[in-house]
């Protein structure tokens, strides 16, 4: 979506991720309230529209979140469902309102609680009308096949895949919002319970609860609010996955390639200019594939990019500086909004103990959503952010 005018992020909020006894609406309010306060807003009803991403917590989730903030009856609250892409898509829609002049200030929230809503140890119910899903093509199985093929083609090993978890847990060591953090060895990862070869337990994101929130506004409003560290939205793209009724290269990811290319073109920022990236690392292999899909390196060189330390502090692009989904866990509807919140805090030098240095100027966020027969993913949402202070 080509932005018709400049859109800025005024404030962000995120909860601690993990297992919570508080339901999604409480978590959503916590993140929303943080974002509102960070935006120097003294009355929540200043917000002119709100979008809420959620996947599994029922109906009218947005109204349930915002009712105790005194916002019902004051603005349109629109609920968004797009599996893992829901939270980021909610932010995209808030940006769209401001970019088109429908509002001067809007809000996107992603919130999810799995702990209180589903039995521990159970997988998400596959769509019974999806031929791949009913024959076992659930997400873990799909990424297992992608990892096996990637290993065959590149010579990567299980130990190489484990290094993604080692890196991301290390990134999260001092992040108060991350669930899993600190030192973990390759041996611990490789020897943890096998889930779907070659993916062991510590190579899969945890099923977590949490929320993220983002307030976006026009240039005039950013001045009125007195935001000292404005972050500009350089680009935002949402796509649906192309359908292939034929064999396809599972070591690529057509929707991510397509969406990132659109984002680079829209923002005028190339992959070589991106300082930090939060991506959809639901499984270790995903991060390796996405290095290549987003052109951080050439096709087939993702493993070298990892081994050479180019995706960590001091490298070309710090990937998952917050620790990613492998450290946060993955509350389906919340992760995309939380990624954006984490990126904004990095751009503003607000991450003591895990701040990227030198302070990044350009941040990118990427999250896919859902599976669908004949596609890599059903949806993909990406954002490009630039600090302007």
Active site residues: 84
Please, what is the Cα angle at 215 between 212 and 219, to 5 degrees? 150
Residues 6+ apart with CB under 8 A from 71: 44, 45, 47, 50, 77
Contacts of 287 (CB under 8 A, 6+ apart): 164, 168, 279, 281, 311, 319, 320, 324
Helix, strand, coil percentages (3-state) for the chain, rounded to 5, are: 35, 20, 45
CA–CA dist 311, 290 (Å, integer): 12
**347 vs 229: CA distance, rounded Å:** 9
DSSP string, 153-167: HH---HHHHHHHHHH
Cβ–Cβ < 8 Å for 47, 107: yes
């Amino acid at each position: 979506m080509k932005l018709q005018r400049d859109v800025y992020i005024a404030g962000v909020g995120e909860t601690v991720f993990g297992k919570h006894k508080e339901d999604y609406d409480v978590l959503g309010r916590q993140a929303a309230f943080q974002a509102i306060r960070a935006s120097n807003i003294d009355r929540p009803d200043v917000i002119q529209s709100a979008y809420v991403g959620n996947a599994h917590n029922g109906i009218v989730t947005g109204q349930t979140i915002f009712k105790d903030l005194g916002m019902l009856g004051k603005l349109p609250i629109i609920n968004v469902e797009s599996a893992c892409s829901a939270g980021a898509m909610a932010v995209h829609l808030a940006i769209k309102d401001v970019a088109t002049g429908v509002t001067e200030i809007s809000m996107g929230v992603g919130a999810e609680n799995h702990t209180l809503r589903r039995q521990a140890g159970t997988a998400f119910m596959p769509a019974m009308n999806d031929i791949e899903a009913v024959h076992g093509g659930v997400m873990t199985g799909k990424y297992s096949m992608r990892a096996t093929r990637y290993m065959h083609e590149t010579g990567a090993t299980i130990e190489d895949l484990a290094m993604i978890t080692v890196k991301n847990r290390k990134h999260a060591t001092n992040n108060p919002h991350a669930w899993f953090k600190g030192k973990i060895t390759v041996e611990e990862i490789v020897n943890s319970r096998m889930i779907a070869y070659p993916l062991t337990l510590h190579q899969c994101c945890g099923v977590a609860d949490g929320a993220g929130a983002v307030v976006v506004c026009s240039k005039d409003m950013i001045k009125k609010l007195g935001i000292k560290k404005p972050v500009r939205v350089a680009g935002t793209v949402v796509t649906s996955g192309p359908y292939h009724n034929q064999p396809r290269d599972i070591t690529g990811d057509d929707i991510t390639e397509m969406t990132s290319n659109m984002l680079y073109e829209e923002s005028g920022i190339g992959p070589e200019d991106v300082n930090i990236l939060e991506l959809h690392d639901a499984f270790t292999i995903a991060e390796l594939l996405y290095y290549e899909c987003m052109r951080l390196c050439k096709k087939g060189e993702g493993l070298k990019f990892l081994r050479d330390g180019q995706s960590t502090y001091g490298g070309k692009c710090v990937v998952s500086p917050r620790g990613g989904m492998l450290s946060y866990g993955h509350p389906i509807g919340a992760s995309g909004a939380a990624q954006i919140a984490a990126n904004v805090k990095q751009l503003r030098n607000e991450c003591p103990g895990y701040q990227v240095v030198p302070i990044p100027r350009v941040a990118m966020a990427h999250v896919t959503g859902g599976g669908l027969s004949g596609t890599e993913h059903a949806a993909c949402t990406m954002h490009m952010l630039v600090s302007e202070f």
